[in-house]
Chains A and B, each alone.
Chain A
Amino acid sequence: MSLYLFALLAFLTLAGGLGVVSTRNVVHAALYLLLSLLAVAGIYLILFAEFLALVQVLIYGGAVVIVVLFAIMLTRSSEYPRISDNRQWPLALVAALGLLGVLAAAFLAAPIQITQLQSPDFTALSGSLFTKWAVPFEIASLVLLVALIGAIIIARAGKNER
């Protein structure tokens, strides 16, 4: 049964992704992105990663897409060129399909052991997050600080130029 669910969610993810690159309206593109990200959250749920699904919905669906939409509204562009307006799109398509082929071959040819999924222990996750992964965790705080400073400097100048 989870196979059918996964098929549905995978289809939604891919449809969202294709919608982002093929639509002419940039706000529609942001909404297709939202669809894609929420479908990925569904995939996390199938894999019993509840916390990750929560994070995905909250951060990606709730914060990142909002920032994208607000940034779009700041630039006041109601239309942008589609990907097929760029003359290099056949080359890009070939490159993308090539990458897909290579990755698919890598997955299909490599012997993958399918382990039995079980519901992970959230307390174990949080325990290891602050002991084994403490260093990346602290570096992440610096990354957030840097992102905020960078975004504020650049956005502030954009506001002042108007």
Chain B
Amino acid sequence: MLENYFRQYGLAAIFLLVAFLVPVGMLAGSWVFSRLGVRPAKPSPVKDAPYECGMEPIGGPWNRFNFRYYAYALLFVIFGVEVVFLYPWAVRFIQMELFALIEMAIFILVLAAAWAYAWRKGDLEWR
């Protein structure tokens, strides 16, 4: 049972390791080869410009950031926590009494009030 647990997460960890090593390995290999002289290293202004689908870059690197992203990230935190509480509830819901249903209903209603607040205050608009 314990070995199974470690084997499962061990596989996931190996997967993560490979996902980490492949790009890092490529970049490191490229750097090593350039130090060794195998890869030519001749930077030029055209080569160093940021990639924008083959066109000339328009505008500087620091643009005005749309505020809406932040409002959505805020809402995501709040409702993410709600979803995280829904998981254990869903697992045991059938075996528990009516009380658990009412409890979760109250929880969701309070957060629905939060959602209504965000809605009416205009934070769900993309403007």
Contacts and interface: CB of A to CB of B under 8 A. Distances in A.
Chains A and B touch each other in the complex, with CB atoms below 8 Å apart? yes
Interface of A: 1-2, 45, 48, 51, 54-55, 58-59, 62-64, 66-67, 70-71, 73-74, 76, 78, 119, 122-123, 125-127, 129-131, 134, 137-138, 140-142, 144-145, 147-149, 151-152, 155-156, 159
B118 interface: yes
A12 to B, nearest CB: 12
Interface residues of B, number: 43
B87 A62 contact: no
Interface of B: 1-2, 5-6, 9, 62, 65, 67, 69-71, 73-78, 80-82, 84-85, 87-89, 91-92, 95-96, 99-100, 103-104, 106-107, 110-111, 113-114, 117-118, 121, 123
Given A51-B87, A159-B67, 11 more contacts: A48-B5, A51-B88, A66-B73, A67-B70, A71-B70, A123-B91, A125-B88, A127-B95, A142-B110, A144-B82, A145-B111
B110 to A, nearest CB: 4
Interface of B, helix, strand, loop or mixed by DSSP: helix
Nearest to A66: B73
B87 to A, nearest CB: 7
A141 B110 contact: yes
Contacts of B106: 138, 141
B73 A67 contact: yes
A54 to B, nearest CB: 8
A126 B123 contact: no
A38 B117 CA distance: 32
22 contacts: A51-B88, A59-B81, A66-B73, A66-B76, A67-B77, A76-B62, A119-B1, A123-B91, A125-B88, A126-B88, A126-B89, A127-B95, A127-B96, A130-B89, A130-B100, A137-B85, A137-B107, A144-B82, A144-B111, A145-B110, A148-B78, A148-B114
